[in-house]
Amino acid sequence: MESDGAMPMSRTGIQSPPTETATTCHTTVKIHSKSALAALMGPPIITEQDDQITITPPTPTSPARIDGHAVVNASGRYGRLYGTTSSRGEGVFDYAGQDLREGATLGSEFVESSLLFTIYARDSGEEIGKLYAPHATLSVSGRQVGRRQTVVTAMGRKQCVPITYERRTWTGPLQILDETVNTEPHVMHVTDWYCPSEGFVLRTDIVEDGKTQRIDTTEVTPLNGAQGVLGAPD
């Protein structure tokens, strides 16, 4: 995936084959990403992430649920972050099998997360302190389905369905070293272009504070997945 805007990013994700039980599905996703602040023109932040994801399908009385636990190892110009995130979400996470007729309204989504990172000096490896966010949230309003149309994607011209919604993210109280920072929520207006022939969102348009960012899926390839463990900085 590639994105432009104030924080350009390139991301590759590799999903292992899922394993199923009578009530859940489990998979591992390995993510490698590079991101940077365009205004600073500096070197990118390199992030390696291992996600363990368990999906509980919806039932007639309860929505779908996703539980995630990730190990994150990120390095930038001056420092490194190593730590974990945990999350639990409920709602609509996948457009496959949904009612995608024009004018339909899809369900909402809510995710609550926590993260705990240790901060290291990049060159010396000395521990500087902790970064902790106990109650980060992401909420998505009901999604509106638009008219299917041909759009330009990074994978060519495709017949896709525009699905629009409001996404609100809030880090909550953020503890950095010995200080607590009270953060403000961010509200984004999002259009996902879901392409049924690929079974995937191939393009996402985001508007926040009057600025537009575009995220393109550049390749979708079936892979067998890989095993590995991220190590803490030495």
Query: How confident is the model at residue 115, as a pLDDT?
Result: 96
Q: How large is the average pLDDT for residues 138-152?
A: 96
Q: From the CB of residue 125, how many other CB atoms can be counted at a distance below 10 Å?
A: 10
Q: What is the mean pLDDT of residues 195-199?
A: 93
Residue 224 has pLDDT above 60, yes or no: no
Contact present, 30 and 13 (Cβ < 8 Å): yes
Please name the residues in contact with 76: beta carbons below 8 A apart, sequence gap of 6 or more.
43, 44, 45, 46, 122
Structure tokens at 99: 């009612």
User: How far apart, in Å, are the Cα atoms of 202 and each of 31, 90, 145, 217, 224?
Assistant: 18, 23, 16, 5, 21
Structural domain includes residue 35: yes
- Any domain includes 86: yes
Give the pLDDT confidence of 160-194 residue by residue, as tens digits. 999 999 999 999 999 999 899 999 999 999 999 99
The whole model's pTM is what? 0.84
Q: Predicted confidence band at 93 (pLDDT cuts at 50, 70, 90)?
A: confident
pLDDT of amino acid 222: 73
In a domain, 221, yes or no: no
Q: Burial of 107 by CB count in 10 Å (0-12 exposed, 13-18 middle, 19+ buried)?
A: middle
Contacts 24+ apart (CB under 8 A), 83-87: 83/115, 83/116, 83/117, 83/118, 83/131, 84/115, 84/116, 85/113, 85/114, 85/115, 85/116, 86/113, 86/114, 86/115, 87/111, 87/112, 87/113, 87/114
Structural domain containing residue 69: 2-103+110-140+167-185
- The position carrying tokens 């240790």 is 118
Stretch among 1-10, 66-75, 135-144 having the lowest mean pLDDT: 1-10
Per-residue pLDDT averaged across 62-71, rounded? 95
Mean pLDDT of 77-88: 94
CA distance 200 to 153: 12
Per-residue pLDDT at 8: 73
Whether residue 94 lies inside any domain: the answer is: yes
| pLDDT over 90 at 6, yes or no | no
Does a structural domain hold residue 65? yes
What region, left, alpha or beta, does residue 77 occupy, with left being phi > 0 and alpha being psi -120 to 50 degrees?
Answer: alpha
**pLDDT-based confidence at residue 5 (cuts at 50, 70, 90):** low
Q: What pLDDT does residue 175 have?
A: 94
- Does some domain include residue 173? yes
pLDDT band at 39 (very low <50, low <70, confident <90, very high): very low
**Average pLDDT score over the chain:** 89
CB 24 within 8 A of CB 18: no
Would residue 48 count as lying in a domain? yes
**pLDDT band at 225; cut points 50, 70, 90:** very low
pLDDT value at residue 234: 43
Is residue 200 scored above 90 in pLDDT?
yes
- Best CA proximity match to 91, nearest among 53, 137, 142: 142
3-class secondary structure, 77: coil
pLDDT at 192: 97
Q: Which pLDDT does position 42 carry in this prediction? A: 60
Q: For the chain, how many structural domains are there in total? A: 1
| Ramachandran bin of 125, using left for φ above 0, alpha for ψ from -120 to 50, beta for the remaining angles | left
- The answer to the question of residue 146 being in a domain is no
User: Does position 229 have pLDDT exceeding 50, yes or no?
Assistant: no
Which of these, 167, 148, 183, lies nearest to 215 by C-alpha position? 167
